[in-house]
Amino acid sequence: MKILENYKVELEKDLSEAVSLPFSSYTSEEIYQEELEKVFFDDWVFACHEKEITNKGDYRTIQIGSESVIVMRENDNDICALSNNCRHRGTKLLDSERSHTKKIICPYHNWSYDLSGSLKGAPFSGNVKIDKSSHCLPKYKVEVFFGLVFVNITGNAEPLQQRLGSIAKYFEVFDTKRFKYATETEFEKWKCNWKLAFENGIESYHLFAVHKVTLEQQTPTSKAFYIEGGSEWTLTGGEIKDSKKGLTRLFTGDKYDHLYNYILISLPPSFIGILTYDSLSWLQVLPDGVDSINISSCAITESKAKTPKAITEFTKIFFKEDQDICEKMQISMNSKFAKGGKLVEMEKILVDFRHYLATRIFKSNVSPHFISDKSKIFLG
């Protein structure tokens, strides 16, 4: 069977029959190219949080496979997404991943652009007349959902609100509008296929093994549960041990039960969030070749206070635990003779992610959205 046909069959399976994906799915250039075109270019890709770029001229750059994109705060109200390649001979314009600028100047021959991508200057052009209006940086579609900024390169994706609308009630329960301050963004490069990192980020099955002395101590595997989801997005959750909100619970009974739980938000292909009463933190997964990713992390919180050193250290340690396991997996994926096996119940979220891929790449019909009883913890 051809590699793509085989891939489709595996992606469409439900939990009862799902086994680990063919290992070639994580190493095949053919599949990777298909995913770039039909997932990363055609769909909404998480770019940053609007609080990472609060002032005019603040920007983030993201690399989505072959495409480098500037996400720019062009004025107080608007954010635009621009091609990060010069309209003269294509040089990459901005190198920093998160920074600030007054205008965009190409390092090669200093053509300059304003924050909206309009060409403003082309030095020493001699007698050649350059029509500035036809040399703007290409703009991509941008939409913002609860402060999360998404970019769609081809412009083919359906409105974001339509896609994510029903997650809003969960954000409202946690009153995420309180979160106004973004922490520093951390950037790393991992040597693995983007799906390995995404799958690892969304499933809670590995906490007790990979994060035995870190995450498992606070958010144990045994207390994780499925909330609701399908091929568009999935929410899972779990209990937070020794929650600081214990006192609140004492005074309010069960009314604030959601305060002792976290929600893990999977918005494929690039956003994995963790929502608690104290913060919304996230990972951004972006492919950079078939076996390489750029991964970044950031959070928004209610107070401007710096993240305590202990928390930064803790995050670094479990992040490294995830990196090690993902890179180890990538090496195994090269095997021609090894065999994968069944997914367990806690891995239902991986099936949702596969169904996402199946609908995007193959336009498959997959099983409908599912809501579990655990949603009542948050929605009553």
Using the minimum distance from each CB to ligand FES, give the nearer residue, 89 or 103.
Answer: 89
Strand partners, 61: 70
The residues of the shown chain that bind Fe ion, judged by CB under 5 A, are: 322
Burial class (CB in 10 A: 0-12, 13-18, 19+), 107: exposed
- Helix runs in 256-342, H state only: 309-332
The least distance separating ligand FES from the CB of residue 123, rounded to whole angstroms, comes to 8
Using the minimum distance from each CB to ligand FES, give the nearer residue, 117 or 268.
Answer: 117
The least distance separating ligand FES from the CB of residue 41, rounded to whole angstroms, comes to 23
Q: Is the peptide bond before 269 cis (omega within 30 degrees of 0)?
A: yes
Using the minimum distance from each CB to ligand FES, give the nearer residue, 99 or 110.
Answer: 110
111 binds, among Fe ion, ligand FES, none (CB under 5 to 8 A by kind): ligand FES
Using the minimum distance from each CB to ligand FES, give the nearer residue, 111 or 145.
Answer: 111
Q: 259-286 burial by CB neighbour count: b if 16+ within 10 A, else e?
A: bbbbbbbbbbbbbbbbbbbbbbbbbbbb
The least distance separating ligand FES from the CB of residue 93, rounded to whole angstroms, comes to 7
CA 342/CA 347 separation, integer angstroms: 10
The least distance separating ligand FES from the CB of residue 120, rounded to whole angstroms, comes to 12
Using the minimum distance from each CB to Fe ion, give the nearer residue, 215 or 377.
Answer: 215
DSSP-derived 3-state class of residue 360: helix
Structure tokens, 172: 């409202």
The least distance separating ligand FES from the CB of residue 137, rounded to whole angstroms, comes to 11
322 binds, among ligand FES, Fe ion, none (CB under 5 to 8 A by kind): Fe ion
Are 48 and 297 spatial neighbours (Cβ–Cβ below 8 Å)? no
Instruction: Give 42-82 as a DSSP string.
Output: TS-EEEEEGGGG-STTEEEEEEETTEEEEEEE-SSS-EEEE
108 binds, among ligand FES, Fe ion, none (CB under 5 to 8 A by kind): ligand FES
Closest CA to 351 of 160, 199, 208, 221: 199
376 binds, among ligand FES, Fe ion, none (CB under 5 to 8 A by kind): none
Residue with the CB atom nearest Fe ion in the bound state: 322
106 binds, among ligand FES, Fe ion, none (CB under 5 to 8 A by kind): ligand FES
The least distance separating ligand FES from the CB of residue 107, rounded to whole angstroms, comes to 7
Using the minimum distance from each CB to ligand FES, give the nearer residue, 130 or 331.
Answer: 130
The residues of the shown chain that bind ligand FES, judged by CB under 6 A, are: 86, 88-89, 91, 106, 108-111
